[in-house]
Amino acid sequence: MVTGLIVKIGTGNTFFCINMHKMLFKLQKIFYYNGVGSILCRQNRGFDMEYNIKNAYCKRVWDDVSKRYADQDHFLQAVGLVLEAISPAVDKMPQLEEYAVLERMVEPERIVMFRVPWTDDHGKPHVNRGFRVQFNSAIGPYKGGLRFSPEVGLDVLKFLGFEQVLKNSLTTLPMGGGKGGSDFDGHGKSDAEIMRFCQSFMTELYRHIGPDTDVPAGDKGVGGKEVAYMFGQYKRLRNEYTGVLTGKGLTFGGSLARTEATGYGLIYFAECMLAKKGQDFKGKTAIISGDGNVAQYACEKLIQLGGKPLTLSDSSGYILDEEGITQEKLDYVKEFRARKEKVDAYVKKYPNAKFFKGEKPWGVKAELAFPCATQDEIYEEDAKKMVANGVKLVAEGANMPTRAEAIKYFQSNGVTFAPGKASNAGGVAVSGLEMSQNSERLSWTFEEVDAKLKQIMTNIHDNAYENAKKYATEGDYVAGANIAGFVKVATAMVAQGLV
């Protein structure tokens, strides 16, 4: 039987395709799937964003990279925002052009691509694609997560790796930037299937990583179980026990507070933002997207500091609890998430809450917003709703969840905005602390790690704030974070010569 899909944009454009997935792939430059049943036109969503890049050198590099990688939307947004933000700093660093620093910064040092063959529980063979983008090692070994998810490809991984370079620089720890993963989808797979995939993935990846070369971690689709399987295979292949992966279990070199780190760090950063305005979290309402580790622990720390979280979400929709999500309710979220249930399980336990199928939480009235799900969550129309509903502060818990046009709308309407490379750096910061513990053969207490995390996030905030004040506009955390991260990496690249 022939099945198909008809998509209409406006009144005159109709496309027919026998296979929906092939159509979405072939037309990915024009359309995208929003995850909740709609296919939307990219041209109406800001993918052709214009950037106000004032420095001539930055502009020339942007013109070149935007032509060369015209099909890589996420990577281009990341590069465009950075080049726009760092222009004032580049004005004062003429030596950068002599050493082609910007041309080198936008190109990964190395990209590794490989096939990952594995068999399912019925003996059927499958082949996925594996990647490692080793972006920049000027200030330390490559460091960044592994993502197992169907959307993984060079565009997504290059954007994540590029952002990781600056994020890791901001922590002040000696870590370069990289990212990797596979288009493997672990949903519905047995533990045995996941183990076989992870072992096959590491059978190739192990050749390219090491404690002083490249130290991967987990990311979307890669939790403690997957990290453990990959660590075991690396140990088997290399016949050595080293801290080659972070996010490990506590019994074999992991760090306390690593699970909580990104969410807690996000709230520590936002706490500093509020303090600059003479405010704190007490009594303030917040909307949070996502219901994974970042969202859960951002919610937890927010509750501890007196805030009132109202929402959580997943790909099926969002829940709104106008009474506020308490620690008891959050503990239940952790329970049903562990059972891999959807977020609507919340309203079955707490019927006063509401579930909005297929919607995002950005229309809810609140003072604070923490996007913690994935990239491309907030577009300009979402930003307009949020501003209209009283949101005064947005801090990113996910990687680039806010599109460029939405960021500009926030900034032009008095919303204090923190980019993920600064506000969600807590995860990689504690990964760096795990590397330190592994090197010293020590294990710190939860309180020790949490205190170091809070100090790192405070330092990142202060560094971003001061650089914004020096080079751009006071309170512009986008400019401040990008400049602070960039200057350290660029200075190291100049010192090391043309490599």
Show which residues are catalytic: 179
Residue 230 · residue 197 · CB < 8 Å: no
Distance of CA 198 to the CA centre of its chain: 22
Residue 317: left if φ>0, alpha if ψ -120 to 50, beta else—which one? left
List Cβ neighbours of 301 (8 Å cut-off, separation of 6 or more). 260, 263, 264, 266, 267, 268
Residue 75 · residue 460 · CB < 8 Å: no
The H or E element that residue 447 is part of is helix 446-471
DSSP letters along 466-492, please? Answer: HHHHHHS-TT-HHHHHHHHHHHHHHHH
Give just the sign of the alpha carbon dihedral 425, 427, 433, 439. negative
What is the spatial distance between Cα 232 and Cα 226, in angstroms, rounded to a whole number? Answer: 10
What is the identity of the amino acid at 136? N
What is the spatial distance between Cα 146 and Cα 245, in angstroms, rounded to a whole number? Answer: 10
Residue 176 · residue 139 · CB < 8 Å: yes
